[in-house]
């Protein structure tokens, strides 16, 4: 039996400008960073917690999104398109409950 060496993993740490409560603008920035990191050979891109919402804890319930929000579809498409596992920390709302979830828990697992 021969041992195989796992392929190295390149991790990109994103330090990006975030606009308070501007999810659409912040999403565009995240997508651009994902694209750039992939072009530089990154296998994983890590973003700061709640960087899509601007870490506005006072607005958390207002910024929470349903699971089928287009923001998640855009992140999923970028993650799948570049073979990344997305683990964004964005509050999500469930219609019948006040529970908030990490959005990374909602994206497809690889």
Q: Which pLDDT belongs to residue 83?
A: 62
Q: Using DSSP, state whether 11 is helix, strand or coil.
A: strand
Structure tokens at 87: 């683990």
Q: Which pLDDT belongs to residue 1?
A: 59
pLDDT, tens digit (0-9, with 9 covering 90-100), for 67-84: 889 998 898 888 877 764
Q: Which pLDDT belongs to residue 18?
A: 94
pLDDT, tens digit (0-9, with 9 covering 90-100), for 8-43: 889 999 999 999 999 999 999 999 999 999 899 888
Domains of the chain by residue range: 11-105
Q: How many CA atoms lie within 13 A of 83 on its CB side?
A: 8
Structure tokens at 15: 């330090």
Query: What CATH superfamily is the domain 11-105?
Result: Carbon-nitrogen hydrolase (3.60.110.10)
């Amino acid at each position: 039996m021969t041992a195989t060496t796992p392929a190295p993993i390149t991790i990109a740490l994103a330090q990006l400008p975030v606009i308070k409560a501007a999810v659409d603008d912040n999403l565009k920035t995240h997508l651009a960073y994902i694209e750039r990191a992939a072009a530089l050979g990154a296998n994983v891109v890590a973003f700061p917690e709640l960087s899509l919402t601007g870490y506005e804890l006072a607005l958390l319930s207002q910024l929470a999104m349903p699971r089928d929000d287009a923001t998640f579809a855009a992140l999923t498409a970028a993650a799948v398109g570049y073979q990344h596992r997305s683990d964004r920390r964005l509050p999500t709302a469930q219609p019948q409950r006040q529970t908030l979830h990490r959005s990374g828990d909602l994206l497809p697992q690889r």
